[in-house]
Structure 1
């Protein structure tokens, strides 16, 4: 669905797609750096209800649809892109878990700042 929707939007964003990607990534990174400075220790935990799970499922679906939109901005076959995305997700997830287990508590809130900078 996202892939076909992206085909229709491609002509609208063709001229400034690199700036759009830059602004989105810059905004996410800036928010991560900002949040790394807020040392709110009293974070409330919420119960995981059906309503929360439904909202998370909708958010995940919207994220996947946005990823489908971006596939049209690149000159690559969708099957190849899915394989590359899956492979890189597996590798980087493994590396992230390994780094997290090695860093322990010495990295703490600096990890979020590092993620925002990257």
Structure 2
């Protein structure tokens, strides 16, 4: 996997956290930067850590899945992308608030990083160096969340669902590319 593809996956994975950050930025009134940076840190940490856990899970069963890895990768990424698109269209915006509370922040960080766990399984199937990938995903997520918090402060909830839609489309496109490469090349 080249650096551009990894960067696009990182952006796609960061979209859920960014959408949450936009909603949070629109609601944070007091201690804006404290809660904003803390939220971005937690989202980046979980988005970067979950692929490592997924990778370890994938490594345990790679011999069984290896002949079908491109199908599994395409289905996982397509499913995650479809879920993101669905949530972007039908999701409850009220569930994306609450980063001022540490317990709610942890729940949101885990919830928005479940897709990164599945991507980690995919990375193990494709034999992608996980530590570099996890670092890129974590840093991109942190940056996207800082941008989301700031955007939320200025434009409110206008962009939230569109960000999730874009992330879902990117993941589906990458899954389709992996499938095509696995079948034809």
- Shorter-chain-normalised TM-score: which range? 0.5 to 0.7
Counterparts in 2 of 1:7 and 1:38: CA distance versus 1, 3 Å: closer
Q: Alignment RMSD, CA only? A: 4.5
Please point out which of 105, 130, 143 is paired with 1:94: 143
Quote how far apart the aligned CAs of 1:74 are.
3.9
Partner of 2:155: 104
Count of aligned positions: 112
Quote how far apart the aligned CAs of 1:18 are.
0.9
The runs of 5 or more residues in structure 1 that have no matched partner are none
The runs of 5 or more residues in structure 2 that have no matched partner are 1-52, 171-185
1:18 aligns with 2:70: yes
- Provide the C-alpha distance between the structure 1 equivalents of 2:125 and 2:118, rounded to a whole number of angstroms: 11
Q: TM-score, normalised by structure 2?
A: 0.40
- Give a deviation string over 1:6-59, Cα, whole Å, max 9, x none: 444222111111110110111111111112222645x469x97x8x99x89x98
- Provide the C-alpha distance between the structure 1 equivalents of 2:115 and 2:88, rounded to a whole number of angstroms: 23
Counterparts in 2 of 1:25 and 1:109: CA distance versus 1, 3 Å: same
Larger Rg: 1
Higher relative contact order (CA 8 A, sep 6+): 1
- Give a deviation string over 1:56-91, Cα, whole Å, max 9, x none: 9x98xx9888676555434466xxx31342144214
Q: Pick the structure with more helix per residue.
A: 2
Q: Helix, strand or coil for the counterpart of 1:109?
A: helix
* TM superposition outliers: structure 1 runs of 4+ over 6 Å: 62-68
Counterparts in 2 of 1:9 and 1:91: CA distance versus 1, 3 Å: same
